[in-house]
Amino acid sequence: MTVHEIQEEILRLKKEKDICILAHAYQKQSILEIADYTGDSYGLSVQAAKTSNQGVIMCGVRFMAETCKILSPDKKVWLANPMAGCPMAEQLGLDDLKALKAQYPGYDTVAYINTTSELKTGCDVCVTSASAVKICAALDTDKILFIPDPNLGHYVASKLPQKQFAFFDGGCPRHKVAVRDDVILAKERHPGALLLVHPECRPQVTDLADYVGSTTGIMDYVRKSDNHDFIIGTENSIVEHLQFEYPQRRFYPLSSALSCMDMQLTTLMDVYNCLKGAGGEEIILPDNVMEGAGKCIRKMVELGG
């Protein structure tokens, strides 16, 4: 079968089975083309809560499928490729969190959405890269323990100097590879290009950026900008997607190493097999996790909307 024939078959099957396909913006072009909705983690959460289909297939990583299940408990939710995890989400367990919280009495715990659902049961609210500043600003506390990404945490803290932040020493192993020297080299090679980066990058990188924002934020920035050239500091699939969307402009990766194997694991055939009932993993979470993580995620949707 050709890619086009598989895509046609996926479109037919999802209609027949009343299944909605959600795809994170880092997914492959062939998957984005058959998705009902594509976007960043925040957009996917909002869409997961809104969708009226009987089932949802998530093309992304595990925490995204879990978030979707928690927001749509009556629907069947599948993760298209069960091996797709987020290494950052596994950095902190519930026992580690308890020990960390004991060091910061009086602090509210804010979890990046890139965490396990189990960990979210021990947190007050969660945030995505797109909603973190707005949600932390809206909290009626001045003391925030931000887990697990200190880079996103420092970026949020820089926007809210009136609040006191504590961090965990975690972070995205992919975005962390980009350093100041990559910025200097990329700017030398591409004079006039604007630098757009994800807040999971180190402060030494975000401090030099023309724009810092979520995947959708970066794509929206390009849409509104008149500039011709851009250096992109996030997962390198975004460079390709932008180049497809704007063939007259030029997009360059900040670092060739900025690539997430987990996000790139899912294939079009995984989606096809999942629809045929021959692949994917249906997400089923214990009741206490549905309830505890649900409070944390729903508070994000309330405050972020």
The contact set with ligand SF4 (CB under 6 A) reads: 61, 86-88, 114, 172-175, 200, 235, 260, 262-263
Per-residue b/e over 255-281, b at no fewer than 16 CB within 10 Å?
beebebebbebbbbbbbbebbeeebbb
Nearer to ligand SF4, 7 or 266 (CB): 266
Nearer to ligand SF4, 19 or 293 (CB): 293
Q: Which does 115 bind (CB under 5 to 8 A by kind): ligand 13P, ligand SF4, none?
A: none
* Shortest distance, position 135 Cβ to ligand 13P, whole Å: 13
Q: Kindly list the residues in this chain that would bind ligand 13P in the complex (CB under 6 A).
A: 40-41, 114, 128-130, 172, 198, 200, 214-215
SS3 state at 13: helix
CA distances from 110 to 20, 115, 197 (A): 30, 11, 22
Nearer to ligand 13P, 40 or 66 (CB): 40
* Shortest distance, position 273 Cβ to ligand 13P, whole Å: 24
The β-bridge relationship of strands 37-39 and 55-59 is unpaired
Nearer to ligand 13P, 7 or 27 (CB): 27
Instruction: Considering only CA atoms, give the Rg of the chain.
Output: 19
- Report the C-alpha gap between 10 and 268 in whole angstroms: 9
- Report the C-alpha gap between 281 and 143 in whole angstroms: 38
* Shortest distance, position 177 Cβ to ligand SF4, whole Å: 10
For the record, the structure tokens of 297 come out as: 């995620």
* Shortest distance, position 195 Cβ to ligand 13P, whole Å: 16
Q: Which does 215 bind (CB under 5 to 8 A by kind): ligand SF4, ligand 13P, none?
A: ligand 13P
Nearer to ligand 13P, 107 or 198 (CB): 198
Nearer to ligand 13P, 44 or 186 (CB): 44
Q: Among residues 207, 202, 198, which one has the least CA distance to residue 176?
A: 202
* Shortest distance, position 92 Cβ to ligand 13P, whole Å: 16
SS3 state at 125: strand
* Shortest distance, position 260 Cβ to ligand SF4, whole Å: 3
How many residues belong to the chain? Answer: 305
Q: Which does 262 bind (CB under 5 to 8 A by kind): ligand SF4, ligand 13P, none?
A: ligand SF4
* Shortest distance, position 232 Cβ to ligand SF4, whole Å: 13
Q: Which does 87 bind (CB under 5 to 8 A by kind): ligand 13P, ligand SF4, none?
A: ligand SF4
CA distances from 281 to 2, 40, 62, 116, 271 (A): 25, 22, 10, 16, 11
Nearer to ligand 13P, 7 or 91 (CB): 91
- Under 8 Å CB-to-CB from 229, ≥6 apart: which residues? 190, 192, 193, 194, 249, 250, 251, 252
For the record, the structure tokens of 170 come out as: 């975690």
Q: Which does 128 bind (CB under 5 to 8 A by kind): ligand SF4, ligand 13P, none?
A: ligand 13P
